[in-house]
Amino acid sequence: GKTLEGTITSWNRGAQRMYGYSPEEAVGKPISILVPPEKLDEIPQILETLRQGVATDNFETERVRKDGTRIHISANFSPVLGPREEIIGAATIARDITERKRIEGALRESEQLFRSSFENAAIGMALVAPDGRWLQVNHALCQILGYPEQELLEKTFQDMSHPDDLEADLDCIRQLLAGSLHTCKLEKRYLHKQGHAVWVLLNSSLVRDTRDNPLYFIAQVQDISERKELEEMKGRFVSSVSHELRTPLTSIEGYLDALLDDEAGPLNKEQREYAEIAYRNADRLNMLVEDLLLLSRIESGKLSMSFEAVSVDESVRHVEQELRNVAENKGLSLLISTDTDLVVSADRLRLAQVFTNLVGNAIKFTPSGGSVELRGRRSGEEVIVEVVDQGVGIPATELPRLTERFFRASTAGTVQGTGLGLAITKEIIERHQGRLEIESVEGEGSTFLVVLPIAT
């Protein structure tokens, strides 16, 4: 407590802990020993209010400890009444709120940094309510979509989405809300104010409160229209070239078939050998054309996929039936070990293609007498399928380039391939919101991991 002149009259243990003064050091001293110079004007104002019989609650200010350090406090000041109900002094209850103030300051700085980053980002950014309303949009997003900020805030992302792409976006939202995905990445089209479609790369994540309730989505939107236009041009070129190649290839294979069937007369041993070499190479070229077309369709978004709940074990067993004879003919063991309860949302045909590509590669690169393993398991909210070979391995420096089109590891040797299989595999996996991871030790073998979100 203190007098109405500001002299300290009582001092408890709490005050001693907070300010560092003992009762002997504090009692009888002016309250100003606790007040920073720039806060001294507060004392007359507080005392005058108390003289009028008015209490002050939750007054936040700074005070100075005995050792000179400053603390933030929240104080309640109440008038103390004498025997005749006259005001004879004041009682103070103070709490140290220094840590709370520090946290609030850090939060303000973080919020200011986020707001600055949000507003000045080179890519479009938005905060989106769970029901699809735009809560906040930055200048870059307004430019991408051609709307003034206020007009855009009156719309929902559903209004702005191309009808053909809306379901994929809604599926992302469902998975984020369910917790099966932490971030969702997809290419989609928004509708510009002028009516044309704008291709964007959308990255979305969900912010939740302390009780795990959804608050809002953070959307990062990058305009990829120019890239899509180039991909479209490339796709048309690849399609045109592939068509021009496919027609003569069909003719070449047809005539070679006729030669090998002795339709033009019997072939001697050397002639047959030459014709078989030509046929094999024509077949390889045909595979290359098919792979080029497939990769072009995937990259241009024209490869339609039908997603459904697919048993990973069932898909793996199908691949086992298809490739077991190939493995055994090479003297390899094909070992399968998958949990039977693994289910993913996938295109059944394309998922089987992924496993077929990876197991086929493993068989090609594993020498006779070795084994190829295919293992499936659950890890948290993900399914991991591993294809393990005992092949030549891949140099660590080449691993980052392994999924590039036409790249072949230096250890591949004479093993034939188009150089597109892994590029296609990676693209298909990413269309399933998954990822392809590769581990390898040169001279020992490689492990390819297909990681997919588990179906919810």
Q: Is residue 2 part of a domain?
A: no
Assign 382 a pLDDT band (cuts: 50, 70, 90): very high
How far, in Å, CA of 6 to CA of 17, rounded? Answer: 21
State which residues form the domain around 366.
Answer: 307-453
Over the stretch 210-228, which tens digit does the pLDDT of each residue have?
A: 888 999 999 999 999 988 8
Residue where one domain finishes, among candidates 299, 334, 349: 299
Same domain, 332 and 233: no
Q: Which of 168, 167, 452 is nearest to 311 (CA)?
A: 452
Integer angstrom CA distances of residue 450 from 32, 264, 303, 321, 453: 69, 49, 20, 20, 10
How far, in Å, CA of 49 to CA of 56, rounded? Answer: 8
Q: Is residue 327 part of a domain?
A: yes
Over the stretch 99-148, which tens digit does the pLDDT of each residue have?
A: 988 888 887 777 777 777 788 888 999 999 999 999 999 999 999 999 99
Q: What is the pTM for the complete model shown? A: 0.50
Burial status of residue 98 (CB atoms within 10 A of its CB: 0-12, 13-18, 19 or more): middle
pLDDT over 90 for what percent of the chain?
46
Same domain, 186 and 265: no
Same domain, 209 and 286: no
Find the CATH number of the domain harbouring 413: 3.30.565.10
Same domain, 419 and 314: yes
The pLDDT value recorded for residue 406 is 73
Same domain, 372 and 246: no
Position 414 pLDDT exceeds 60: no
The pLDDT value recorded for residue 435 is 93
Same domain, 236 and 345: no
The pLDDT value recorded for residue 411 is 66
In the predicted model, what is the mean pLDDT of residues 278-298?
A: 77
Find the CATH number of the domain harbouring 46: 3.30.450.20
pLDDT over 70 for what percent of the chain?
97
Assign 152 a pLDDT band (cuts: 50, 70, 90): very high
Same domain, 317 and 449: yes
Same domain, 311 and 434: yes
CA angle 126, 128, 131 (to 5 degrees): 160
The pLDDT value recorded for residue 418 is 62
Tell me the average pLDDT of the chain.
88
Residue where one domain finishes, among candidates 252, 268, 299: 299
Q: Which of 430, 447, 443, 334 is nearest to 385 (CA)?
A: 447
Same domain, 86 and 126: no
How many H-runs (helices) and E-runs (strands) does the chain carry? 13, 15
CA angle 423, 427, 432 (to 5 degrees): 150
Same domain, 324 and 444: yes
Where helices occur in 3-126 by DSSP H, the ranges are 13-19, 23-26, 42-51, 98-120
Q: Residue holding tokens 């950014």?
A: 125
Over the stretch 312-359, which tens digit does the pLDDT of each residue have?
A: 999 999 889 889 998 999 999 999 999 888 999 999 988 999 999 999
Dihedral sign computed on CA atoms, order 152, 158, 164, 169: positive
Number of domains in the chain: 4
Same domain, 164 and 84: no
Assign 412 a pLDDT band (cuts: 50, 70, 90): low
437 vs 395, more confident: 437
Rounded to the nearest 5°, which phi and psi values hold at 47?
-65, -40
Contact 295/234 with Cβ under 8 angstroms?
Answer: no
Same domain, 424 and 366: yes
Name the E strands within 114-231.
124-128, 134-137, 183-191, 197-208, 214-223
